[in-house]
Structures are given as C-alpha cells and as structure tokens.
C-alpha cells in the first residue's frame, strides 16, 4: 500500500519568524498522522524551519534546485546546499517555475514570464541532481486552460512525465513523487473534479507503467495539487490513483493544512 504524502508549498510566503510560528502550530496537529507530511518553505527559512522540525514526523522540502553542485550560477541553489540544511524533498517543474500561471499576473508578459524558465529538459536534469544528492523529487506536471480546451491534456501530461523520467531506473522511479497540477486550478479557486483528477492521475500511472513496468507504476506516489482545501480534500484523497496532495494557499494556515493531512485515508 502506498503511504499518502501531503506537501505544503509555501511559495514566496513567510519570513523566518512567520515560518517558525506556523510549524510550531502545525507540529501537534500533524502528530500521529498516517500520511507523510512535508513543508516546503522559501530558501531563507529552510535552515531554521528544518531545525524546528527535528524529532517530529514532518519532513523538510525545498521549492527548486539547480543541477550543478557549485559554480558561477548567481541566484541558484544546489542539491548539497539543500541537503546540508536538512531537506529530504524538492519540488521540481512546478508550473510557476515554468512560467505557466493559472491566473493573470499583473504586468506578466510572455517575455517576463521567461524569468522562471524551466523546461522539460531542465526538470529532468534537476531530478537527476536531486537523486545524486539524496533528495526525493516531487515532479510536477499539468496543462493550461487553453491546452485542456484543445483536448491536449493527456498528450501534455504524458510528454512532461516521459521527459522528466528520462534516464531513471525503475528502482529510482519507485521513489519519485509525481504531482498533477492542472495549471488552470492553481491559485484560482477552481478545482479539477475529483473523478477527472483521478483519471489524469491514472493516466500518469499508465505512462509510468509503459516506461518502467507495472511494479514501478504501482509504487510511485501521485499527488493532486490545485486549490486543495479542507472541504474538498477527503473526496480528492479518496480516489484510487491519488496518493496525496501538493497544497499551496491552505498550507499557510496550520489548521487548514492539518485538516488536509488528516483527510488522507
């Protein structure tokens, strides 16, 4: 049986003091959960939050990494740096890191969105670097509203998964977490219907099976992300192919996040 995994992506939120207050409130609420719980603060809060989580059942994750160990890469952060501050997980290929947003960002032209810049190829290199340094990647995939309306969802998802997993062994794939995040549902309040979310997550599992066999496909954990809240978590997490959630806004409130954690069956 796959262990549910609930990860909170804080995105560009919370100072160090705010992050520490949040995890102190969260620790007793998440204690005893049968789900694996992960929080992913911004880089500035990783070290102090990681120290605050020692001895608890909550794991630390980062929101991105660069594939080189060190060097002249201004503004980047490496796998060894993340491991050094206590990270076990790292989110890779999030739609926002790819410059794909679910809501209109004021002044965000196509040129400006390239500041984020991730591609299928860069996500794959980052995933290999994560494994090299003992970090478990949470690999994100998802379609935009235009792609869904064009009935391209399955093709987009299959392409992103196939390219992200290039060069991995079946044993490595078993350890990876894949997060399905329909771009149009991130930060919009829109939620993919639970049945459709389950269908797409099943499509991801079938894609993994075609690449690495049934054992890897049955072992890999697949999350749903996109406006997950306490009032829809149980229905989403009760689906056959959904093994957890990648939570955005609701992870910034301890009670809301704990309610989602506790909804994992």
CB–CB of 143/104 below 8 Å? Answer: no
* Strand 89-92 versus strand 136-141 pairing type: parallel
Which tokens go with 250? 């609701």
Which tokens go with 114? 């390239």
What's the CA gap between 224 and 242, in Å, rounded?
A: 6
- Cα 131 vs. chain centroid, distance in angstroms? 16
- Cα 127 vs. chain centroid, distance in angstroms? 12
Q: Name the catalytic one among 36, 94, 147, 212.
A: 94
CB-based burial label for 21 (10 Å; 0-12, 13-18, 19+): middle
What's the CA gap between 212 and 143, in Å, rounded?
A: 23
Q: Is 94 a catalytic residue?
A: yes
Q: Is 181 a catalytic residue?
A: yes
- Cα 94 vs. chain centroid, distance in angstroms? 7
Residue 264: C-alpha distances to residues 7, 183, 222, 258 (Å):
12, 23, 13, 10
CB–CB of 254/26 below 8 Å? Answer: yes
Which tokens go with 10? 């804080």
Q: Name the catalytic one among 36, 147, 181, 241.
A: 181
Catalytic annotation, residues: 94, 181
């Amino acid at each position: 049986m796959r262990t549910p995994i609930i990860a909170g992506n804080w995105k560009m939120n919370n100072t160090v003091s705010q992050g520490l207050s949040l995890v102190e409130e969260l620790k007793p609420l998440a204690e005893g959960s049968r789900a694996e719980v992960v929080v992913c603060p911004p880089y500035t809060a990783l070290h102090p939050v990681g120290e605050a989580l020692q001895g608890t059942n909550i794991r630390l994750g980062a929101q991105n990494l660069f594939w080189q160990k060190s060097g002249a890469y201004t503004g980047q952060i490496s796998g060894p740096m993340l491991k050094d501050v206590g990270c076990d997980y790292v989110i890779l290929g999030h739609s926002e890191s790819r410059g794909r947003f679910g809501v209109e960002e004021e002044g965000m032209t196509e040129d400006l969105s390239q500041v984020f810049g991730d591609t299928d190829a860069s996500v794959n290199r980052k995933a290999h670097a994560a494994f090299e340094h003992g970090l478990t990647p949470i690999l994100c995939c998802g379609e935009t509203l235009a792609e869904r309306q064009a009935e391209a969802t399955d093709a987009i998802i299959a392409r992103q998964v196939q390219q992200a997993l290039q060069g991995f062994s079946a044993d490595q794939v078993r350890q990876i977490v894949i997060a399905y995040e329909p771009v149009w549902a991130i930060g919009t309040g829109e939620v993919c219907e639970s049945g459709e979310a389950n269908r797409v997550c099943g499509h991801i599992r079938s894609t993994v099976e075609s690449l690495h066999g049934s054992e890897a496909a049955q072992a890999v954990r697949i999350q749903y992300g996109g406006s997950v809240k306490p009032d829809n978590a149980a229905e989403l997490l009760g689906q056959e192919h959904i093994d957890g959630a990648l939570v955005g806004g609701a992870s910034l409130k301890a009670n809301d996040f704990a309610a989602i954690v506790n909804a994992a069956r």
